[in-house]
Structure 1
Amino acid sequence: MLAGLGTAQAQTPAPAVAAAAPADTVSPWKTKFKGSLNVSQALLSDNWKGGGVSFLGLNALLNAQANYRREKHSWDNQADLLFAFANSKGQGYRKNLDRLFLDTKYGYSISGDWDMFASLNLLTQFAPGYEYGKDANGNEQARLVSSWFAPAFLTAAYGFEYHPTTYFKVRLSPFAPRFTFVNRPERFLTSVGAEPYGVQPPRELRREWLAVQVLAEFDKEIMQNVNLKGRYLLFANYQELAFKNIDHRLELALTAKVNRYINVALTGIALYDRDQDARIQGSQTLSLGFLYTFQNYEDKKQP
C-alpha cells in the first residue's frame, strides 16, 4: 500500500507553471484630432427692400495633438489652425480670422504636478490681411497690414510647467528668446509704421534674446456637450520691461455639440502688442457647422 501510494505520488503531474503576465501594450502616445467647417450664407434678391447684401462666409478650424509620455519623459506636439473669410456682394472677399500655431515641447517630470521643459513654437498666418478705410475723396481703399510670415514669431522657451489637472497647464519661462520675421517689411511702412512689428527695414528679422514667456492653456467640457478652450500668451523683453511693452494674447473658443457632427461655435481673440498697435485688438465669430473629433484615449475625470 505504501509502495503503491508512493508510486501514485510520483506519477502525479507537477502543477502547471502560471503563464507570464503579458507585457504592457498600452501605447505611450496619445493622439487627438478636432476639425470643423462652418458656413454662413445669405442670398437676397435685387429688389429686396429689407436692406442688406448677399454674402457667403466660411470658418475652418483644425487642431491636432500627438503627445508621448513614458516614465519621467514627455514630448507634446500641437498644430492649431484657424481660417475664416466672408465674400459679400459689393465688397468681395475679406478675411476675418487667420492663425497658424505650431508647438513642440520636451518635458522631464520633477514631481506629480511639475515638469522642467524646453519648447519651440511658431505663430503666424496663412494669407494676406488688409485694413479697410476711405481715402480723402471718400473712395474705399485696402491697405496691406499682414501676410505669410509677416509677421511670424518663433519662440524657444525654457522653464517649468505646472499641470495640476488634465485640462489646465501653465508654462513659466524665465528665458524665452524670440525671433520676429517680417517678409518684405517695406510693404508695411505706410500701413503699420516705420518699424513694422518691431523690425527695422531693410532687415527682415528681429532678435530678442533676453525675454520671459508665460503660456497657459485650458481645455475642458464645462457641461454636457459644451467645451471651453482657451490659450493665454504673455511675452516681455527684459530690456524693455515696462507694463505698456508686455505683449498679451488671449484666445477663447466655446463649442456646443448639437449632435455627433453638428456644432455651434463662438470664438474670440484679444491681442495687445505695442509693436502692432497702441490699442487692444479684438475679433469675434459665431458659426454653425460640421465638427469631427477623434482621440485614442479616454480623458480622466477631474473635479
Structure 2
Amino acid sequence: MNTRFILLLIPFICWGVGLSAQENPDTTYWKKDFKVGLNFNQAAFSSNWKGGGVNSIGLTGLLNYKAKYNKGQHSWDNEIDLAYGIVKNQDQSSRKSIDRIFLDTKYGRKFDEKWELFSSANLLTQFTKGYNYDVEFPNGEVKDSVISNLFAPAFLTFAWGFQYQPTEYFNIRFSPLTPRFTFVTDNDLSDLGAYGVDPGENLRSEWLAFQALADFDKEIAKNLNLKWKYLLYINYENLSLDEWDHRLDLILNAKVNKFMSVNLGAIVIYDFDQVDEVQFNQFFNLGLVYEVKNYED
C-alpha cells in the first residue's frame, strides 16, 4: 500500500516543485477550471412487456480540474481527471461502467509562437477491481475472475520533447524520449505476467520509447463541446507495427442548462501487452454538472 501511495503522489510532487521554483507567482496568469458531475441512468419494464429488456440502474461520478499558467515564454499545465460509475442490472451483481484516475502535469518553454520545449509526467490507473464475469474454471466452477485492480495496472510516464500548438484548442506533443513504468501491484496478476511484466514481478520499465499525444478541445457550436485525445506509444526495442500502443478518448458534451448536460463518448485502445485485439468502450450520460472557472471562453 505504501508503494501505491508514493506512486499516486509523484505527479503532485512534480507540481509542488514547479510551484516552489516560481518566486511570488502572479495568480492573474492562471486559468482554472473545476467540474464535478453526477449522472444517473435507469430503465424499468413491466412483467408483461413484450419488447424485451432488463431492469437496470446506473450512477456515474465525474471530477475534472485544470490549472494552466501562462506568462511570457513559460507555461505550466496541470490536470486531474477522475471518473467512476456502476450499473446494476436485474439478476446481476453491480458492475463497473467506467473507472479512471488520470493525473498530468507539463512544463513548457516557448522558442517560437507555435512551438515549445516541454517536460511532462502523468499517471493512469483505476480505483477498484475489474472482472471477467461468469468464467468457467478447469474444475468446472463458474465465478468472476479478477483482471485488474488499483495500481494493477498503473502507467507512470515521463516525456521530454516538442509541442506544436497552432490554435488555443489543439496541440500535439512529440516526445522522442518517453520512459514508461508499468506497475502491477496485485500479486495474483503479477504472477500471471499480466500487462507485460515478467511473471512474479511488479514493475516493467520501458526506458527507450517515442510518444505522440494530440489533444483537441473546442466549443464547436453554442453549448456543444467536442473533446478528443489520441496517444501513440512506440517502444524503440520493438518497432513491430502490431506492437505499437494506441488510445483514443472521444467525448461530445451538450450543455442543456447551467446545471445539466448530456454527453456521448467512446474509448478505443490497442495495447499488445494487454490483449492482441482492439478494446472499445462507449457511453451515454444525462446528468448534473457544476462548473467553476476564473475565465471566459
**TM-score after normalising by structure 1:** 0.84
Please tell me the residue identity of whatever aligns with 2:269: L
- Per-residue CA deviations over 1:230-258 (Å, capped at 9, x if unaligned) read 11111111001111111001000111111
Partner of 2:64: 63
Partner of 2:90: 89
Partner of 1:33: 34
For the residues of structure 2 that align with 1:170 and 1:62, how far apart are their CA atoms? 24
Partner of 1:228: 226
For the residues of structure 2 that align with 1:80 and 1:215, how far apart are their CA atoms? 17
For the residues of structure 2 that align with 1:278 and 1:164, how far apart are their CA atoms? 35
Partner of 2:3: none
Partner of 2:155: 153
SS of residue paired to 2:189: helix
SS of residue paired to 2:66: strand
Partner of 1:177: 179
For the residues of structure 1 that align with 2:271 and 2:188, how far apart are their CA atoms? 20
Task: Return the offset for 1:298.
Answer: 2.1
Partner of 1:72: 73
Task: Return the offset for 1:276.
Answer: 0.4
Partner of 1:5: none
For the residues of structure 2 that align with 1:141 and 1:92, how far apart are their CA atoms? 12
Find 1:216's aligned residue among 202, 214, 217: 214
For the residues of structure 2 that align with 1:96 and 1:140, how far apart are their CA atoms? 22
For the residues of structure 1 that align with 2:149 and 2:248, how far apart are their CA atoms? 21
Larger strand percent:
2
Please tell me the residue identity of whatever aligns with 1:108: R
Task: Return the offset for 1:26.
Answer: 7.1
**Is the CA contact 1:158–1:176 (under 8 Å) kept in the aligned structure 2?**
yes
- Per-residue CA deviations over 1:48-86 (Å, capped at 9, x if unaligned) read 443433221012222110111121111110011122210
SS of residue paired to 2:95: strand
Find 2:146's aligned residue among 120, 144, 147: 144
Partner of 2:165: 163
Please tell me the residue identity of whatever aligns with 2:249: E
Please tell me the residue identity of whatever aligns with 2:181: F
For the residues of structure 2 that align with 1:294 and 1:164, how far apart are their CA atoms? 27
For the residues of structure 1 that align with 2:241 and 2:189, how far apart are their CA atoms? 30
Task: Return the offset for 1:116.
Answer: 0.2
**Is the CA contact 1:185–1:201 (under 8 Å) kept in the aligned structure 2?**
no
For the residues of structure 2 that align with 1:229 and 1:140, how far apart are their CA atoms? 40
**Is the CA contact 2:69–2:77 (under 8 Å) kept in the aligned structure 1?**
yes
For the residues of structure 2 that align with 1:183 and 1:288, how far apart are their CA atoms? 35
Task: Return the offset for 1:111.
Answer: 0.7
SS of residue paired to 1:187: helix
Partner of 1:21: none
**Is the CA contact 1:77–1:105 (under 8 Å) kept in the aligned structure 2?**
yes
Matched, 1:106 2:114: no
Partner of 2:200: 202
Matched, 1:239 2:244: no
For the residues of structure 2 that align with 1:134 and 1:154, how far apart are their CA atoms? 31
Please tell me the residue identity of whatever aligns with 1:144: V
For the residues of structure 1 that align with 2:232 and 2:132, how far apart are their CA atoms? 25
Query: Runs ≥4 in structure 1, deviation > 4 angstroms?
Result: 136-140
Partner of 2:188: 186
Task: Return the offset for 1:140.
Answer: 5.2
- Identical amino acids, percent of aligned pairs: 49
SS of residue paired to 2:156: strand
For the residues of structure 1 that align with 2:141 and 2:222, how far apart are their CA atoms? 50
Deviates more, 1:201-210 or 1:80-89: 80-89
**Is the CA contact 2:184–2:190 (under 8 Å) kept in the aligned structure 1?**
no
**Is the CA contact 1:186–1:201 (under 8 Å) kept in the aligned structure 2?**
no
SS of residue paired to 2:280: strand
- Per-residue CA deviations over 1:270-302 (Å, capped at 9, x if unaligned) read 000000010000000111111222221123xxx
**Is the CA contact 1:55–1:86 (under 8 Å) kept in the aligned structure 2?**
yes
How many positions carry a matched residue from both structures? 270
Q: Could you say which structure has the larger radius of gyration? A: 1
Task: Return the offset for 1:139.
Answer: 7.3
Unaligned runs of 5+ in 2: 1-25
For the residues of structure 2 that align with 1:89 and 1:188, how far apart are their CA atoms? 34
**Is the CA contact 1:177–1:209 (under 8 Å) kept in the aligned structure 2?**
yes
